[in-house]
Structure 1
Amino acid sequence: MQSREAKQIVIDVELHHDYKHPDAKGHDDLNMLVINQGKHHHSFAKCGTNDGPHTITWRLTGNASEGEFCGLDEKDNPGFCWLIRQPNGKVFQKLRVNDKTISIENHHHHQDTEGHWHYQLFARVNGQVYGVPLTFACGFAMSTNPSIKNT
């Protein structure tokens, strides 16, 4: 998805499947988070210099709606984290968790805010932490990891 005007983008996050393989505690270690029904890549065009930022919000829905995103300060499972390359502090600002949502502002107004960044999400559903599965691939084009691209 590519967005040209500054606006609020809401991205649904669900569990891959309902609880099919629960252990004695009711956890399903074979489950994972799925972003936007598997469409994990989001692309944004520059906003006008007088426009506000894009606001990106990930929202737990469907079979994950009873859960909550992990806190940003959780060492092993932060609700949101950048992978490999971190953008400079000018691009993405005001990262915040609010129970079932995580939001961040994408200030893509200039050429120096162009780039492609991969991220990871973690949420706790019924006491079990689930994340988006990560893969290792050569090059951005081959990766299935969730990403934000500013063009």
Structure 2
Amino acid sequence: MKTSNPSKIDIEVELYRNPKPGREENLLVVNQGKHHHAFEKVASDDQPHTITWTLSGNASDGEFCAADDPHSPGFSWLVRRPSDKVFRNLRYEGKKKISIDNYHCDKNSEGVWHYQLFARFGDKVYGVPLTFVCGESNSPHPSIKNT
């Protein structure tokens, strides 16, 4: 079994357009559009990969929506929710960072999971756009893949 050292990956989240008065429409862009991240297994289940999303650049004045927001949670899984044994300890680190630990240590933690992010900018809420497509390789949704 191929393994890797636990990694800490920092993912920047920005706005598609610079905010300006009168402009209502906008959306979040994860890692400049390179939003699919793959992880190899770690040798031990007590040292996970840590993934952190940070509002930066033109989104640095925003804040992630609350985890329990019924319409626009700061972070949520799309369609298929992974086991709580794989992804644990979702946490907000202030208002501009969200982190989660990825315990990918065996075949049971393999898979692809898509997620959604929402952030608030004053009285506006923007998210990663939802688009329906066929096939995971064409998906515009940010994803985490455990190989």
Question: Which of the five TM-score ranges fits, normalised by the shorter chain?
Answer: over 0.9
Q: Decide which moves more: 48-57 or 86-95.
A: 48-57
Conserved in 1, the CA contact under 8 Å of 2:73 and 2:118? Answer: yes
Corresponding residue for 2:19? 19
Query: Do the aligned partners of residues 42 and 16 (structure 1) sit closer, same or farther apart at CA in structure 2, a change above 3 Å counting?
Result: same
Please list every run of at least 4 consecutive aligned residues from structure 1 whose deviation after the TM superposition is greater than 6 angstroms: none
Superposition deviation, residue 50 in structure 1: 5.9
Q: 2:91 aligns with which of 76, 96, 117?
A: 96
Map 1:1-151; keep pairs closer than 5 Å: 4-20=4-20, 22-23=21-22, 28-49=23-44, 52-98=47-93, 99-151=95-147
TM-score by length of 2: 0.93
Matched to 2:104, the amino acid is H
Superposition deviation, residue 127 in structure 1: 2.5
Partner Cα distance (1:107, 1:149) in 2: 12
Partner Cα distance (1:59, 1:125) in 2: 14
Q: CA RMSD in A?
A: 1.5
List runs of 5+ in structure 1 lacking aligned partners: none
Superposition deviation, residue 19 in structure 1: 2.1
Conserved in 2, the CA contact under 8 Å of 1:82 and 1:119? Answer: yes
Query: Do the aligned partners of residues 131 and 41 (structure 1) sit closer, same or farther apart at CA in structure 2, a change above 3 Å counting?
Result: same
CA deviation profile, 1:122-141 (whole Å, cap 9, x unmatched): 00113311100111011211
